[in-house]
A and B are shown apart, each in its own frame.
Chain A
Amino acid sequence: MNLGVAWAKAWITSSADVMSEHRIELIDLDRNIGDGDHGENMDRGFQAVLAKLEAVPAEASPGDVLKMVATTLISTVGGAAGPLYGTAFLKASIAIAGATDLDGAALVRLLTAARDGIVLRGKAESGDKTMVDAWTPAVDAAGAAHAAGADDLAILQAAADAAEAGALATEPLVARKGRASYLGERAIGHRDPGAQSSALLLRAAADTAALV
């Protein structure tokens, strides 16, 4: 079964819950190599998204939901994460504009556009110890799963697994973008908070696909 607006809403609702649940964890990760506001900002942003989700009309498309997420995150999160996630959701919404049912190809388009949006805004490359290190493996894994004939759920699970592995793999890296880049070698051994929140979002996407 293809995923539609019910999944998009469930994904975003679950993301808001996950950001609240992991608020302290993200703050702690960010305190280690940044300034300690990532969990607070993501929680504030997704609570604002949640408040607007009910007003999304029943006939809306998944792209409409993601576009609302984008504009809300841009205007509520602040820091670097607001424009980065905002651009990700905006590009994703454009990539699936008009579609009511998302097949595997559409999901790969969604994920690829989101990653490209983050790269466009933040200008980070793989290995810079940023959220790109979660997104690029996720996009690659989703593409490979789709090519191998996987269904929507399996594609999102592959993306979530790869994002989690990618977030974990930021731990030994020296950061070259964002505030952690000022630490040099001292960033080694700490996971990038943006990569971690990205992995949480993609896990929520897979978990809710299993439920709808």
Chain B
Amino acid sequence: MKKLVNDPKNVVTEAVAGFGAAHADLVRVSTDPIYIVRTDAPVAGKVGIVSGGGSGHEPMHGGLVGPGMLDAAVPGAVFTSPTPDPILAATKAVDGGAGVLHIVKNYTGDVLNFETAADLAAADGVEVRSVLVNDDVAVKDSLYTAGRRGVAGTVLVEKIAGAAADRGDDLESVALVAERVIGQVRSMGVALTPCVVPHAGQPSFTLAEDEIEIGIGIHGEPGRERIKLEPADAIVDRLLGPILDDIPFVAGDKVLLFVNGMGGTPQVELYIVFRRAAEVLAERGIEVTRTLVGNFTTALEMQGMSITVLKLDDELTTLWDAPVQTAALRWGR
């Protein structure tokens, strides 16, 4: 294993310090407890939006903090949910009197720690609403599992909820918009290689040279099915099928198509994937009206990608187009 780290125990603190130094125009960083907050927080009268989760998925969530998106991000240890203390501190730091929305990915640790933090915040008089993102269609039978996971669709939820808060929606309305995105966004991913958690020093799972894992989550946890490597187009078809059948997406729908890199896959391959995905959607009569391609929800150095499709309507399109100014997403300002 070769990594650009010092002491593996300091990976998150050093990375967050570097992030704060690099983007001092957008964020300030609290070191104890660790969270990242936009420079002008709290914004009086605006609903605050907080997300967080294990580190290793950068730029999510710290890179999504700034005007038009998140007010604060709370990074935990690598692939480990943050504890309630920093979530509570970040929540208080962004409360401008209009309440705070927690955007939580549906992983057991994230859910339990954010729940505890929301209870503590309520006890301190901060109004908190929580939404759970669960866009991963790879988990088929939610009844017998912890439920569908929250993966790359989270980025779209955060952008659109952020825009709703920015235009002055109240807490209830921002939560409703976020829920609407969650109801209309679906994702599925593939891993070509595992990733190595710095303090573990070994791959989180093993894949033979010619094997890929279909339905991977974003923590290097194995997915549902292991198959032989196939051409890119065949892999795209395997992921898009379950996504499109799920809501379902039908002819005439307008969608945002998002191809997300897992960290170790070059852009050139992501665009090969995008080309095929757009082709399949066109064949089905589904119109791609907005797009996003790049590394946004990563799993350290894992090779692989996920495809996310969000059904758009006029309001969600307007909110997607609204100005945003973060380290990872920036337009309109």
- Residues of chain A touching chain B, judged by Cβ–Cβ distance below 8 Å, are 27, 31, 34-37, 40-41, 44, 74-84, 121-122, 174-179, 181-184, 186
Contacts and interface: CB of A to CB of B under 8 A. Distances in A.
A172 to B, nearest CB: 16
Interface of B: 54, 76-85, 107-109, 112-113, 115-116, 138-139, 144-146, 149, 197, 199-200, 202, 204-205, 217, 219-224
A132 B202 CA distance: 29
B112 A121 contact: yes
Contacts of A81: 109
A74 B149 contact: no
Given A183-B221, A183-B224, 10 more contacts: A36-B204, A36-B220, A37-B200, A74-B116, A80-B81, A83-B84, A84-B112, A179-B108, A181-B145, A182-B223
A181 B146 contact: yes
A182 B149 contact: yes
A78 B109 contact: yes
Q: DSSP class of A's interface residues: helix, strand, loop or mixed? A: helix
Q: DSSP class of B's interface residues: helix, strand, loop or mixed? A: loop
Contacts of B107: 179
A122 B79 contact: no
B146 A82 contact: no
Nearest to A179: B221
Nearest to B136: A182
A35 B113 contact: no
A184 B80 contact: no
27 contacts: A27-B200, A31-B204, A34-B221, A35-B79, A35-B197, A36-B200, A36-B204, A37-B78, A37-B80, A40-B80, A40-B199, A74-B84, A74-B116, A77-B83, A79-B76, A80-B108, A82-B112, A84-B112, A121-B112, A175-B145, A178-B108, A179-B107, A179-B219, A181-B144, A182-B223, A183-B224, A184-B224
Contacts of B109: 78-83
Given A178-B108, A182-B217, A76 B83 contact: yes
Contacts of B217: 179, 182
A80 B149 CA distance: 14
B112 A122 contact: yes
B202 A31 contact: yes
A186 B220 CA distance: 15
